[in-house]
Amino acid sequence: MNQDFEFYNPTQVFFGRSAMENLPGLLSLYGPNVLLAYGGGSIRANGVYDQVIQALADSGKQVTEFTGIMPNPTYAKVLEGGRLARACQADLILAVGGGSVIDCAKAVAIAAVEDGDLWKRHWLEKRPPDADPLPVGAVLTMVGTGSEMDGDSVVTNEETKFKTSTWDYSLYPRFAILNPEFTYSVPEYQMVSGIFDILSHIMEIYFSPEDEDNLSDDFSEALMKSVIRNTAAALENPRDYTARGNLMWASSLALSGLLAPSKRQDWEVHQIQHQIGAYYDCAHGMGLAAISPAYYRLVCPYGLAKFKRFAINVWGIDPAGKSDEEVAYAGINALAAFIQNSRMTTNLRQLGLPDDSLLETIAATCNLRQGGYHPLTRTEVLQVLRESF
Ligand code: NZQ
Ligand code: ZN
């Protein structure tokens, strides 16, 4: 661990079958008015809604519902939530759902207390909130983004066609309820999308300097191996509590800050995916899966030693009789095979892009990051997109 770092994660996590029993006690820490934020209705179908409503009733809360938060939440939806939070004088926003619901709740937490052009100030200029955002609590129902234990809020501006995040310590959920059973009802497509999102978060940190002996890379390899192992088990039996639990905790840890110390971090795959998502409303993790093999093949020569280590330590590739390049590319091939075998999206056509007409626009508008082994030019972004099509 050669680089200086700061570590702080303020989210209080309750994990397991009985995690919901803590909700009334947690609610009692906040004022009487709760804005209950959720998505398109999955929580009503799987019974989580009833459990949450019961806890709110037991705690004597006044509840205002903010519903219909869509996957890849829009800035317009954030502003709608902000108006509702003000009208009901919310003391707490309780987000029940996946990353989209939690991200939207965090953004509403800002919109409830600030006026003016929030998009410009916080999402484009990345400035911290001007006033303390409302507190957010999370009941997680879909695994992948890590939003339940991080300070990011990813929002899409539909008018300007730009999807990006803002981050602040004040946006970390105050508490997160993690019951793996709540994820049993997630459709397989969404489950494997979330799983690739976890892997991608880990890889975007792992495939970057520094490469000195550091605990972060060791943690990353352990998490990746756990995710890979438990994916097979969850595909085999979606109600495998152990597998769903391991995936859930891996997801939360991946972006909790645990893996970041001493790492510069890449995040270019996420930048490209966010711009694909700005133009084509698609499952975030599936977009990452569609472009990752092409991206890592392009970057591999610039971080060869790390890709070799990935192949051996994560995928169990036997290096005997192989050159470093052969070992490294065998690791990326193993990743591509995992994507295919886990019924994830293997290219952009499968993701739902009808043609390649917007690839140049996506390449021209995505953020270019400097953190990876090889910062991409726009021509190289386009190359990745074309190879992934
Ligand atoms: O809307 P509902 O009815 O809840 O249905 C959702 C949605 O259709 C459904 N779902 C969730 N839990 C379910 C369930 N269906 C059945 N049973 C359940 N228990 O799944 C669908 C997808 O949900 P969504 O929240 O959109 O998925 P995800 O958790 O992957 O979140 C994606 C969003 O998070 C952002 C992404 O960009 C995207 O906008 N990200 C947030 C990050 C963060 N805050 O740190 C980091 C990520 O890299 C990512 O960018
Ligand atoms: Zn992600």
pLDDT at 1: 84
Compute the average pLDDT of residues 368-373: 96
pLDDT grade, residue 321 (50/70/90)?
very high
pLDDT at 64: 98
pLDDT tens-digit map of 42-59: 999 999 999 999 999 999
Q: How is 106-175 classified by DSSP, letter by letter?
A: HHHHHHTT--S-HIIIIIIS-PPPSSPPPPEEEEE-S-SS-GGGS-EEEEEETTTTEEEEEE-GGGS-SE
pLDDT tens-digit map of 108-122: 999 999 999 999 999
Q: Whose CA is nearest to atom 36 of ligand 1?
A: 284
Residue 273 Cα to ligand 2 midpoint, Å, equals 9
State if residue 200 touches ligand 1 by the CB under 6 angstroms criterion: no
Q: Is the dihedral of CA 82, 84, 89, 90 positive or negative?
A: negative
pLDDT at 350: 96
Residue 103 Cα to ligand 1 midpoint, Å, equals 9
pLDDT at 179: 98
Percent of residues, the chain, with pLDDT higher than 70: 100
97 phi and psi angles, rounded to 5 deg = 160, -155
Considering every ligand atom shown, identify the ligand nearest to the alpha carbon of residue 288 and give its number: 2
Residue to mutate, 284, 288, 291, ligand 1, most ligand atoms under 8 Å from C-beta: 284
Alpha-carbon Rg for the chain in angstroms: 20
pLDDT tens-digit map of 143-186: 999 999 999 999 999 999 999 999 999 999 999 999 999 999 99
pLDDT at 362: 97
